[in-house]
Amino acid sequence: MTGAVNQQVKREVETVVIGAGNGGLTAAVKMAAMGNEVLLLEQHNLPGGFATSFRRGRFEFETSLHQIADVGPPSNRGSVREFFEDELGVFLDWAEVPEGFRLIITNPGQELDVTMPYGVDAFIDALEREVPGSREPVTNYLNLCRELLEGIAYVGKSRGQPDKKLLLTKYASLLNTAPYTIDQVADALNVPERARHILHAQWSYLGPPTSRASFTIYGAMLYKFLLYGAVIPRQTSHEISLALDARIRELEGSVLYNTQVERILVRHGRVEGVVTSRGDHIRTNHVIANVSPTLVYNFLIHPNEEVPRAALQECNARVEGVSAFVVYLGLDASPDELGLKEYSYFVYRSMDTTAGYESFSTLDTPKMQAVVCINNAVPDCSPPGTSIVTITTLFQPETWNITPNKYVSAKNRIAEGLIRDLEAATGTRLREHIEEFTVATPQTFARYTGAYNGIIYGYEPEPWDSLLPRMMMMDEDQHVEGLHFCGGSAFRCHGYSSSYLSGQIAALLTLRDIREGGGLRS
């Protein structure tokens, strides 16, 4: 991979993609597959961004991925699998996650410990057993989720230009629910409180509390998991990143690592090129940025006078998402010995998601954690008789603006609290089996990826700023001609599947621009 550093840089190229994260990689492959001359520039020496892995001792840890929705098995392919295989020509070795999740709520009076399956009917049956009398409202809830997903699929296929009359008729549920939060929809459908706890177990995958998060995004995500199950790449998410990098090269695209884009040159409202940290001036009229718009409009557009006021207002209006805190454990005992039977765990002190969200703003142990035991999906991911467990919680990035002498003690104290909470919830004993232990904080993610403030979740998907409003305003929100965005801050919102598919749309919009505007302009 590092051999690409010495690659000859072209002075002119049709399209430059900034950032080899999930969206940037798929955008570059799609452009190359469509015959476009594309150059992908990445500041790191490896592809993937958050989609990577690292080694400690005899363990290889997955950096950020828990599970991917919308892939499905070969007999029931989701959008991501179809996109990878049919459009990109990328085939991967996926491992199926065996169950939906195990939800554990520990607060007295709210205790709950239930393992939920994938499959719509199986999920409804299991929820009815846990909460008798919930079948009808839960079925109505999931039917609405299905209608949302069908509408989103149509909007995606329309390449950002849906027939509004069709949206108002066939896909009316997508429009009717767009202004509402997760809680508001559950209230309207009279979902019992205990059933709601189970339905909303995966709220932390979005970041904001259920009182503010868009139902559109959550409902589509939940139904994708139930419809297609979940998968992980057998060789960690870095396997995906490397496969996409290799495919770009096979299609005669170019990839350059250790190369940061320092400026996007704009004149009269149109992209004219980029300047890199290597001193390269690359002429292009088309840039796809796998970078936060906040970062692009505040720091990369040059000269500053070319930054549209509307772009800055749009960024300022949005709510920056949260970052992560991850404890990586390499354990000298198998999952059976530890008593960890499931792959995915959500451990909450309560299902008061507002209180959980507020706990991300203090340097105390947060009230929620999402845990995976990777061996329960990929048994040979670590040496025999061992296991890999990762514990993830969330923080507001500014919470970690602390002095260096407090940093180490704070992260170790919080990691210890998370381990204790997991042990108490599951009855397992982890501490006596720890062989490798490392912790990533928001500052770790900021340093490693260069992501704005270390944010992993892009902008928070509130109803006014969720998928449908972003999609419907896509053309109006293109503030610089020739500039499109992909990745977690783009219109599809955050998450692995969304980021991959955002690269598809950004590439198609760029190809449309090229067809309409011709090649490089002088």
Nearest to 270 by CA among 310, 243, 298, 308: 308
Across 13-27, 161-175, 271-285, least confident range: 161-175
Question: By CB neighbour count within 10 A (0-12 exposed, 13-18 middle, 19+ buried), where does 284 fall?
Answer: buried
Task: Answer whether residue 159 shows pLDDT above 70.
Answer: no
Task: Answer whether residue 268 shows pLDDT above 50.
Answer: yes
- Name the 3-class secondary structure at 387: strand
Q: 487 Cβ partners below 8 Å, 6+ apart?
A: 19, 21, 22, 23, 24, 290, 291, 458, 499, 502, 503
Burial 28-51 (b: 16+ CB within 10 A, else e): bbbbbbeebbbbbbbbbebbbbbb
Q: 7 Cβ partners below 8 Å, 6+ apart?
A: 254, 256
Q: Check: CB of residue 38 under 8 Å from CB of residue 14.
A: yes
460 falls within a domain: no
Partners of 53 in the beta sheet?
A: 62
Q: Check: CB of residue 290 under 8 Å from CB of residue 484.
A: no
Partners of 116 in the beta sheet?
A: 101
Q: How many CB atoms lie within 10 A of CB 436?
A: 18
Task: Answer whether residue 70 shows pLDDT above 60.
Answer: yes
**Mean residue pLDDT across the chain:** 94
- Residue 160: pLDDT band (50, 70, 90) is low
Q: Cα–Cα–Cα angle for 84, 88, 90, nearest 5°?
A: 60
Task: Answer whether residue 472 shows pLDDT above 80.
Answer: no
Nearest to 457 by CA among 339, 292, 341: 292
pLDDT value at residue 3: 40
Token pair 């009279």 is found at 190
- Residue 2: pLDDT band (50, 70, 90) is very low
First vs last C-alpha separation in the chain: 34
> Which range marks the domain in which residue 183 is found?
119-224
Task: Answer whether residue 332 shows pLDDT above 50.
Answer: yes
Q: Check: CB of residue 388 under 8 Å from CB of residue 59.
A: yes
State whether 99 and 172 are in the same domain. Answer: no
Task: Answer whether residue 167 shows pLDDT above 90.
Answer: no
State whether 350 and 441 are in the same domain. Answer: yes
- Residue 25: pLDDT band (50, 70, 90) is very high
Q: How many CB atoms lie within 10 A of CB 380?
A: 8
pLDDT value at residue 77: 96
Q: Give the tens place of pLDDT for each residue, 234-257.
A: 999 999 999 999 999 999 999 999
Range from 154-168, 220-234, 473-487 that averages highest in pLDDT: 220-234
Mean pLDDT value of segment 58-83: 96
State whether 213 and 126 are in the same domain. Answer: yes
462 falls within a domain: no
Task: Answer whether residue 392 shows pLDDT above 50.
Answer: yes
Across 5-14, 182-191, 311-320, 505-514, least confident range: 5-14
Task: Answer whether residue 4 shows pLDDT above 90.
Answer: no
Across 90-94, 147-151, 160-164, least confident range: 160-164
State whether 439 and 371 are in the same domain. Answer: yes
Task: Answer whether residue 1 shows pLDDT above 60.
Answer: no
Token pair 């695209």 is found at 253
Task: Answer whether residue 522 shows pLDDT above 90.
Answer: no
Mean pLDDT value of segment 367-378: 98
Mean pLDDT value of segment 448-452: 88
- How far apart, in whole angstroms, are the C-alpha atoms of residue 413 and residue 371? 18
State whether 304 and 330 are in the same domain. Answer: no
Mean pLDDT value of segment 495-512: 95
Mean pLDDT value of segment 293-312: 96
State whether 111 and 124 are in the same domain. Answer: no
- How far apart, in whole angstroms, are the C-alpha atoms of residue 262 and residue 276? 5
Range from 5-14, 118-127, 443-452, 464-473 that averages highest in pLDDT: 118-127
Q: Check: CB of residue 53 under 8 Å from CB of residue 79.
A: no
Q: Is the dihedral of CA 248, 250, 254, 257 positive or negative?
A: positive
22 falls within a domain: yes
Last residue in a domain, options 432, 449, 466: 449
- How far apart, in whole angstroms, are the C-alpha atoms of residue 448 and residue 135? 46
pLDDT value at residue 171: 87
What six digits make up the tokens of 382? Answer: 């670590």
CATH for 296 = 3.50.50.60
AA identity, residue 177: T
Q: How many CB atoms lie within 10 A of CB 79?
A: 22
As for how many domains the chain has, the answer is 3
Q: Give the tens place of pLDDT for each residue, 396-435.
A: 999 999 999 999 999 999 999 999 999 999 999 999 999 9
Mean pLDDT value of segment 440-449: 94
Last residue in a domain, options 173, 204, 224: 224
- How far apart, in whole angstroms, are the C-alpha atoms of residue 30 and residue 22? 12
465 falls within a domain: no
pLDDT value at residue 9: 65
State whether 326 and 424 are in the same domain. Answer: yes
* Cis amide bond preceding 366, omega within 30: no
Q: Check: CB of residue 514 under 8 Å from CB of residue 36.
A: yes
Q: Check: CB of residue 148 under 8 Å from CB of residue 220.
A: yes
Task: Answer whether residue 267 shows pLDDT above 80.
Answer: yes
- Residue 373: pLDDT band (50, 70, 90) is very high
Task: State how beta strands 301-302 and 261-267 pair.
Answer: parallel
Last residue in a domain, options 224, 252, 274: 224
- How far apart, in whole angstroms, are the C-alpha atoms of residue 308 and residue 413? 44
Q: Is the dihedral of CA 168, 169, 172, 176 positive or negative?
A: positive
Question: By CB neighbour count within 10 A (0-12 exposed, 13-18 middle, 19+ buried), where does 304 fall?
Answer: exposed
CATH for 441 = 3.90.660
State whether 390 and 442 are in the same domain. Answer: yes
State whether 106 and 133 are in the same domain. Answer: no
Task: State how beta strands 434-440 and 344-348 pair.
Answer: unpaired
Range from 116-130, 170-184, 483-497 that averages highest in pLDDT: 116-130
Question: What percentage of the chain exceeds 70 in pLDDT?
Answer: 97
- How far apart, in whole angstroms, are the C-alpha atoms of residue 475 and residue 479? 9
State whether 383 and 295 are in the same domain. Answer: no
Show the beta-strand stretches assigned E in 411-476.
434-440
384 falls within a domain: yes
pLDDT value at residue 215: 97
Show the beta-strand stretches assigned E in 205-360.
231-233, 254-256, 261-267, 270-276, 281-283, 287-289, 301-302, 323-331, 344-348
- How far apart, in whole angstroms, are the C-alpha atoms of residue 64 and residue 515? 37
State whether 202 and 126 are in the same domain. Answer: yes
State whether 190 and 72 are in the same domain. Answer: no
